[in-house]
Amino acid sequence: MDPPAIEAVRWLLEASLGEDVGEGDVTSAALVPADASARGAYVAKAPLVLAGIAVARELARLHDPRLEFRASAADGDRVRAGAVLARIEGNARAILAVERTSLNFLQRLSGIATLTGRFVEAVEGTGAVIVDTRKTIPGHRVLDKYAVVCGGGRNHRMGLFDAVLIKNSHLAFQGAPGRAVDRARRHSPALPLEVEVRDMAELESALGAGADVVMLDNFTPEAAAEAVRRSGGRAVLESSGGITIDNVRAYAEAGVDRIAVGGLTHSAPASDIHLQVFPA
């Protein structure tokens, strides 16, 4: 992550450290001499796509600026089991205090990047791109979406403010997608506009109104292929709903431009990463 992105989540890192350390690590205070030094290595225990190494470095700096953190791999790298991701040296109590919080971030973000990488590989050669959704942990959106990019995916809108996305709940107030597209376009003419459709009739309505992107909600791969044929390139088509690692290739081969996968951020298993700590 670049410095501006780290700055945007510093509050979260500080809160996370405070949540864990509280008034102090009572176990280390009892068992580890205050002036003891240690060294540690963050090790991947399974193959993964790395994400969050800059976050781990910043956590170490926030807790104790004297800690020395040296990355051995970069975010976005695909690493093997047993690979050393980073090394940390300094005060033993400080390393032990930051251990769990840094691992929590590294494991979650690398898990998202690794799962994203699996989906990206599954559609390789089709022209379809994998995009995320807003199904992120509250407060973690910047980091979750960063991890998707590390895995080779792309970001959908960041929030409710940077793109228009007309969903079924909005259509309940407007009726046909075409009418909703017209009104939304007048309200926010500078923003990209996407509309969710459930059948071919709604697809034609959205296309006729000039939507930039049409989301095919829970279409089968066969129906998505028909939508691609009917669209004829008039809009970007995005498949969403019920997408899994087992069927994502079928949607990509149907010819859609984008495939939205909420599971990238709401259901990614944490990567297996360990911090080995030794007295220096």
Residues 6 or more apart whose CB falls under 8 angstroms from that of 18 comprise none
What gap in Å lies between CA 71 and CA 92, rounded to an integer? 19
What gap in Å lies between CA 54 and CA 27, rounded to an integer? 27
Supply angle C-alpha 137, 138, 143, rounded to 5: 65
Contact 50, 109 (CB under 8 A): no
Q: Is 238 a catalytic residue?
A: no
What gap in Å lies between CA 170 and CA 204, rounded to an integer? 18
**Among residues 75, 77, 217, 238, which one is catalytic?**
217
Q: Is 135 a catalytic residue?
A: yes
**Among residues 135, 154, 183, 198, which one is catalytic?**
135
**Among residues 10, 45, 70, 167, which one is catalytic?**
167
Structure token pair of residue 62: 């926030």
Rounded-to-10 torsion of CA 164, 165, 171, 174? 10
Supply angle C-alpha 250, 256, 258, rounded to 5: 100
**Among residues 58, 75, 144, 196, which one is catalytic?**
196
Q: Is 196 a catalytic residue?
A: yes
Q: Name 79's bridge partners.
A: 48
What gap in Å lies between CA 274 and CA 85, rounded to an integer? 10
Rounded-to-10 torsion of CA 97, 103, 106, 112? -140
**Among residues 61, 100, 134, 198, which one is catalytic?**
100
- Just list the catalytic residues: 100, 135, 167, 196, 217
